[in-house]
Each structure stands twice: as C-alpha cells, then as structure tokens.
Amino acid sequence: MMQWSLRITAYADRLLQGLDTIEWSDSLKEIQKNWIGRSEGATIFFKIKDHDLALEVFTTRPDTIFGSTFMVIAPEHEWTEKITTPEYSEKVKAYTIAASNRTERERMTEVKTVSGQFTGAYCDHPFTGNPIPVYVADYVLAGYGTGAIMAVPAHDSRDYAFAKHFGLPIVEVVAGGNIEEGSYDAKTGTLINSDFINDMQVNAAITTVIQQLEDKGIGSKRINFRLRDAIFSRQRYWGEPFPVYYKDGMPYMMDESKLPLELPEVDKYLPTESGEPPLARANNWQTEEGYPIETNTMPGFAGSSAYFLRYMDPKNDKELVSREAIEYWQDVDLYIGGAEHATGHLIYARFWNKFLYDIGVSVKEEPFKKLINQGMIQGRSSFVYRVKGTSKFVSYNLRKDYETMPIHVDVNIVHNDILDTDAFKKWNPEYKDAEFVLEEGKYICGWEVEKMSKSFHNVVNPDDLIQRYGADTLRLYEMFLGPLEYAKPWDTNGIEGVFRFMKKLWRLYHTNNNAFEVSEEKASPAELKALHKTIKKISEDIEKFSFNTAVSQFMICVNELTDLKCNKREILSPLATVVSSFAPHIAEELWQQLGNKESIVSAPFPQWKEEYIADAMDMYPVSFNGKTRFKIEMPAGSTKEEVEAAVLKADEAQKWLEGKAPKKVIVVPKKIVNVVI
C-alpha cells in the first residue's frame, strides 16, 4: 500500500541539538534522545565472493574490523535469496519463512535464544582478504542501519552469543577484557591483532580505519539514526484530507487558492467494497478538471502538531497564523503535560515547528520553551480477599490461612482501612450474600498505591472536600502537598492545616465577632518586614513553580501578623493581592470588603522593597571545628575582622577554646563563623 510519510529523519540532528536549548526535564530529553538514537560510525562495503555485489554494513566500531569473523544479514534483506548458494537454498528459505511468521511478541520474548542460518556465501575481508561466512539471523533488523552487520564476537555480546552457538572463531582485537568469559564491549582499550592499527587506542583507531576505507573507496564515515520516518496517512474518514490530486498516476499539490479542502459527504464511514478508504465513496471527489483527489486522510498528530500556532490567530481565514500574531506570541512559554507524549506528539510538534520555521511561518525553532511534567496524583486502592470458590471474604491479617483472591473494592465504602460490610453487600449485586471472616470484629482491607482509575475503584471526588473546606482550601492543599513534579498518592491528611491557615487569614481582617475591621494606622517596621519578605518569597517561588514553599511562606506571614496583632490596611491590602493568585475566592471577598470596586484580578502584583527586609543586625552561628556552639549578633556591615574579634571575645568562646589560641578563624559574611582549634 502506498502511504504518505513525513521525513522527520531529515530533522533528526536538529531535533537532537534543539534539546539543549529548551527547559525540559532531563528524563523527557533523555527519552527523546534515545528515540532519535543518533550513533556515529562507518558504513563499510564487503565484496561478496562470486558476485558482483558488495554488502554494505553499518558499524559504530570500525576499529574492530580485524575481529570480524562472520557477517549477518536480516532475513528480510533484499539480497538474502540472491547470495545464498544452491546448497543452502532450502534451509535459508525455511529460516526466512519461520522468521517472518514469528510475531513481534515472539521475537521480543525470545530475545535470548540464538537462531540463524549459514547462507553458503562468503565475503572478502576488506583489509586481509580472508573469506568471511555470511549468515542470516533475525537478531539483525532489516529496518535499522543497512540490515546487515559485520559481526565482531569478541566485542559485541550478541555476536558473541551467536559465535558460541555456531562454533565460529572469536578474535580479540581490543585488550582489556577476558574473551573466554564474554565479549568486551567497552569503547576503551588498546588495539591488538589488528595490522596497521595495532597499539592504537580505540578512538584513534576508529579515525584511522575510516580514513583507510575512504582512501580505498570501500566505506565512509556515517551517522545513523534510530528515528524512522512517520507514516502520515490513515485509511479512515475523520482527519484532514490531503490537498493532493493525481494526474497520470503522479501526485500534484492543489493550488492554494483552492484551499481549504473540506471533507466530502459519504454515505457510510466505511471502506469501499474494493478496500479503498472511506473518501473513495464520495461523489465527485475530484478537482474541477476531473483529476481524482487523494483518498487517505491525515492522522491525529497533523492537528496536534500545530494547534498552538493556530491559537495565536484562530479567526484568520487566509493563513495558518498572521505575521503580526506570531511575532507577538512567538512560542509557548510553558507547557504542562505528561511524559507519555515524549515520543509522539512532543517530538512531532517540535519537528513541524522546525519545518514551519524553515519556510518562514514560525519565528522560533522550538515551540515549547519550558515544559513541566506534572506529577500524577495517584490513588490508594483498597482490597478485600475472597476465599477462592466461595462468597466468603477474609480480613487482611487472616488472609494467609486461606487461599484468597484480592479484589478491588470501592474506597468510598472503606474508612481507615475498615470495610463497611453492609455497604459492600449493596455495592455490587454479586456480593449481596457475602460472608465475612473478621478480626477483632472488623473487616480490615489491604491497600496499594496505583494510578487513579475507575477500574481500580479508587477514585475520590473532590466535591466532598470542596463542600467541607471550600475550593480555595483544596487548591492550596494540592499545591502544599509537595513539588509540582512529584507523583504522590492522594491523601487528605494535612488538609486541616491549610484550612486553619485560611481561617487565620480571614481573622486578620475581622474582629472576634467576625465583623470586618481594618485600621488606617501606619505599619510598623516589623509588620512591613513580614509583608515584604513574603512578597519577595512568593515572587521568587512563582518563577520557580515552587508552590508548596509559597504556601508555607503565606502561613509564616499570617502567623507573624497574628502575633503582631496587625490589622492595618497598609499591610492587609497588598497581602490580599499576593494571596489572590493562590486562593482567589477568599482574596476577592477580602478585596471587596476593603472597599475596592474593581476585581482583585486587575490589581497589580506588589513589588517588595529590600529596605524593609534588611536587618540591622546579622546573626552569626559560631562553630568550633564545624560544630555549631552558639550564636552572636553583629551590626550589619561589620567587617570580617570585627566579627572575628567579637567571636573570640565572647564568654561562650572561652569554654570551647580551652585557653588555646585558634589555628584559624573563617568568617563568611552574613553566613557563618567557623573557629578551627
């Protein structure tokens, strides 16, 4: 079947290099790096005896060429049949057929089993001229490299296993391993048994061999990628149609003036009787001139690869995006999403954007400047243990006495791991006659952390929490749980703390009788410090997406202001603004109470002033031989010498000095003092 493909491989190198310019997680970059799979090596031609052909192989280790004792080609290799000698023809045919009948799954599970077949053919070693037998084996993949390899059993574990199995010679060419025990695959060591590259190190040998191959015209340096071109056609109805028509069997692009090309009406969204895609059912699926239009449609990633550009200018009916819009918006500042798209959408979108950049549509090479993998909130599943073949359920700690089957049970009928047995009977008609073996009068459930999913019956509905604590508390609590990237099981222990904070915040603006009351008095330095410290920390934490520490700073601030009994507008008004991006509802309410007519969303985020935060005194922890012993306060801006003198004079220092003179005193300004004795 003829298919459209996107030549993503043409961008392989740039997709790889671009990773260095974007702020994505290491793991995601690593997945893409492996997927692209760049490997540097050489392509080498081995002349086949009695044929006018040369077998091309790809290798990352041209330095080991003198250790090559056999060749292997993939069963699907185009020359398999051609080079096989009549003597081996039957066997090779049988092997090839057997290999092609094995499913992907079988090939994967049988990774460790060695199989192959000699073809009867030989190659000439390009340097020694020695004959090298050619085998066919399915551990060589047709789709990677050239579908043929030069096998170096001494330095490749797969070739080693193959050689051992078929009793082929193993020649060590890089010193450093023990080839009696296994192959030595490391890319370091000194070359031996290798003619003109003897005594060289691996890297030098690689360069030298490539040079020789190029001089002799039988090979060259080559970079190979694991990345494959992406099949871009689908034989279904729903998808963007290709603006392509056929004239004399040749495809032509439709003129831009004829776009957009819209899906035609069809009687059924099914293939035709002759197996053509659904679009072939349409009447008049042809150009004005009568040329037939392509009947395949595009896959889902056609749209998902560029929608972010379209969002910049969604109503434009002339082009994807206007120059003006793209120059304004440029790229996506922040993409929050899952790692599961690493080798699909996230790589296609990068590729499309690079292509659009090349033709002058996009203005940035990379579409997503920063990407954060939000951690998954997992579920905590509960289990009951059914005694096999009965409707009897046994409590968690007694399950060992029976032969049981764990069954997921709805977490909403389990409280503190204790099952509500009545609710369980009603939960599923299948269990209406359930009997229970209890421990201490209770049915205890087992538990496990799993993905939150309906099929595991561990889904919790936030509505109940919102009912009890409000949406702001839930929102704040989710942030407070830990770093954005962390996966963690959903656990409501701790939500009380956030709820208490909300109530404390409210109380700052209200009297004991819950009447709104703020003072117009001037703020004290301590109050200003509490506020400005908070504005600073929140500003920084937002930039770092460190929301858990931001919430904790709000708590600190509210605790401090409560201790200071502060209810001054000068403090509480900016505080509400800072809080509003975290707990919007309560902040808006307080904002209105403060007498503002406009919504808090239009209030500018306050700027902190360093002068309010700066201390008049610096606190120095003083340690002796690295152990903190006491603290000393020094006026801000004291010199190292002043700090040192003050420390040595301090009463507490005498105890630790024991009358001896210190060997050394280290003073780190604004940080610490360490006395070495």
Partner RNA sequence: GCCCGGAUGGUGGAAUUGGUAGACACCCAGGACUUAAAAUCCUGUGUCCAUUGCGGACGUGCGGGUUCAAGUCCCGCUCCGGGUACCA
- Of 387 and 465, the one with the shorter C-beta distance to RNA is 465
Residues whose CB falls within 8 Å of the CB of residue 625, separated by 6 or more in sequence, listed in order: 674, 675, 676, 677
Q: Which parts of 141-160 interact with RNA (CB under 7 A)?
A: 141, 143-147, 149, 156, 158
Helix (H, G, I), strand (E, B) or coil at 626: coil
For RNA, which stretch binds (CB under 7 A), given 259-267, 310-318, 432-440, 552-560? 552-560
- Of 417 and 540, the one with the shorter C-beta distance to RNA is 540
Q: Which parts of 120-139 interact with RNA (CB under 7 A)?
A: 138-139
- Of 115 and 592, the one with the shorter C-beta distance to RNA is 115
Number of residues interacting with RNA: please give it, by CB under 7 A: 76
Least Å distance, CB 554 to RNA, is 8
Contact 36, 16 (CB under 8 A): yes
Q: Which DSSP category does 386 fall into?
A: E
Least Å distance, CB 162 to RNA, is 9
Q: Which parts of 646-665 interact with RNA (CB under 7 A)?
A: 664
- Torsion of the alpha carbons at 146, 150, 152 and 156, rounded to the nearest 10: 10
Least Å distance, CB 395 to RNA, is 23
Give start and end residues of each alpha helix (H) in 297-420.
300-304, 307-310, 323-329, 345-358
CA-derived radius of gyration, the chain: 36
For RNA, which stretch binds (CB under 7 A), given 243-251, 291-299, 388-396, 623-631? 623-631
Q: Which parts of 281-340 interact with RNA (CB under 7 A)?
A: 339
Least Å distance, CB 146 to RNA, is 7
- Of 161 and 263, the one with the shorter C-beta distance to RNA is 161
Q: Which parts of 167-226 interact with RNA (CB under 7 A)?
A: 224, 226
For RNA, which stretch binds (CB under 7 A), given 202-210, 467-475, 492-500, 565-573? 492-500
Q: What sign results for the dihedral spanned by CA atoms 359, 360, 361, 362? A: positive
Q: Which parts of 512-541 interact with RNA (CB under 7 A)?
A: 540
For RNA, which stretch binds (CB under 7 A), given 24-32, 90-98, 390-398, 413-421? 24-32
Q: Which parts of 58-87 interact with RNA (CB under 7 A)?
A: 58-61, 74
- Of 84 and 183, the one with the shorter C-beta distance to RNA is 183
For RNA, which stretch binds (CB under 7 A), given 10-18, 83-91, 108-116, 410-418? 108-116
Distance from the Cα of residue 569 to its chain's centroid = 46
Least Å distance, CB 379 to RNA, is 13
Contact 411, 457 (CB under 8 A): yes
Residues whose CB falls within 8 Å of the CB of residue 41, separated by 6 or more in sequence, listed in order: 58, 59, 60, 61, 62, 221, 222, 223, 224
The first and second tokens of residue 430, run together, are 């299948």
> Is residue 636 involved in binding RNA (CB under 7 A)?
no
Interacting residue with RNA among 8, 15, 31, 571 (CB under 7 A): 31
User: β-pairing, 5-6 with 148-151?
Assistant: unpaired
Q: Which parts of 341-380 interact with RNA (CB under 7 A)?
A: 343
DSSP letters spanning 259-320: PPPPPPP-S-SS--TTS--GGGGSTT-B-TT-PBBP--B--HHHHHTTHHHHTTSTT-SSSS
How far is residue 333 from each of residues 23, 365, 368, measured CA to CA in Å? 10, 13, 6
User: What span, in angstroms and rounded, lies between the C-alpha atoms of 332 and 435?
Assistant: 57
Least Å distance, CB 104 to RNA, is 8
Least Å distance, CB 209 to RNA, is 13
Least Å distance, CB 597 to RNA, is 32
Rounded to 10°, the helix 584-593/495-508 angle is 10
Distance from the Cα of residue 133 to its chain's centroid = 44
- Of 287 and 549, the one with the shorter C-beta distance to RNA is 549
Nearest to 366 by CA among 348, 380, 353, 379: 353
Least Å distance, CB 111 to RNA, is 5
Least Å distance, CB 248 to RNA, is 38
- Of 61 and 386, the one with the shorter C-beta distance to RNA is 61
- Of 297 and 373, the one with the shorter C-beta distance to RNA is 373
> Is residue 435 involved in binding RNA (CB under 7 A)?
no
- In three-state form (DSSP H/G/I as H, E/B as E, the rest C), the secondary structure along 139-194 is CCCCCCCCCEEEECHHHCHHHHHHHHHHCCCCCCCECCCCCCCCCCCCCCCEECCC
Interacting residue with RNA among 83, 154, 498, 646 (CB under 7 A): 498
> Is residue 496 involved in binding RNA (CB under 7 A)?
yes
Q: Where are the extended beta strands (E) located within 441-519?
A: 446-450, 488-489
- Of 138 and 294, the one with the shorter C-beta distance to RNA is 138
- Of 434 and 579, the one with the shorter C-beta distance to RNA is 579
Helix (H, G, I), strand (E, B) or coil at 64: helix
Interacting residue with RNA among 9, 14, 19, 39 (CB under 7 A): 39
Nearest to 610 by CA among 539, 548, 671: 539
> Is residue 165 involved in binding RNA (CB under 7 A)?
no
Interacting residue with RNA among 86, 360, 429, 626 (CB under 7 A): 626
Nearest to 382 by CA among 464, 463, 452, 477: 452
Side chain identity at 613, as an amino acid letter? I
Interacting residue with RNA among 2, 111, 359, 616 (CB under 7 A): 111
Least Å distance, CB 380 to RNA, is 12
Residue with tokens 């790889």: 16
- Of 107 and 426, the one with the shorter C-beta distance to RNA is 107
Nearest to 566 by CA among 515, 491, 505: 505
For RNA, which stretch binds (CB under 7 A), given 242-250, 305-313, 542-550, 598-606? 542-550
Q: Which parts of 461-490 interact with RNA (CB under 7 A)?
A: 480-483, 486-488
- What are residue 590's phi and psi, to 5 degrees? -65, -35
- Of 196 and 486, the one with the shorter C-beta distance to RNA is 486
Interacting residue with RNA among 207, 235, 549, 596 (CB under 7 A): 549
User: What span, in angstroms and rounded, lies between the C-alpha atoms of 365 and 458?
Assistant: 43
Q: Which DSSP category does 47 fall into?
A: E
User: What span, in angstroms and rounded, lies between the C-alpha atoms of 174 and 179?
Assistant: 10
User: What span, in angstroms and rounded, lies between the C-alpha atoms of 393 and 104?
Assistant: 41
For RNA, which stretch binds (CB under 7 A), given 103-111, 117-125, 316-324, 389-397? 103-111
- Show the CA angle centred on residue 435, arms to residues 429 and 436, nearest 5°: 120
Window 391-430: contact mask with RNA (x via CB under 7 A):
----------------------------------------
Interacting residue with RNA among 169, 251, 338, 494 (CB under 7 A): 494
Least Å distance, CB 418 to RNA, is 16
Q: Which parts of 238-277 interact with RNA (CB under 7 A)?
A: none
For RNA, which stretch binds (CB under 7 A), given 119-127, 164-172, 274-282, 618-626? 618-626
Contact 153, 160 (CB under 8 A): yes
Contact 591, 603 (CB under 8 A): yes
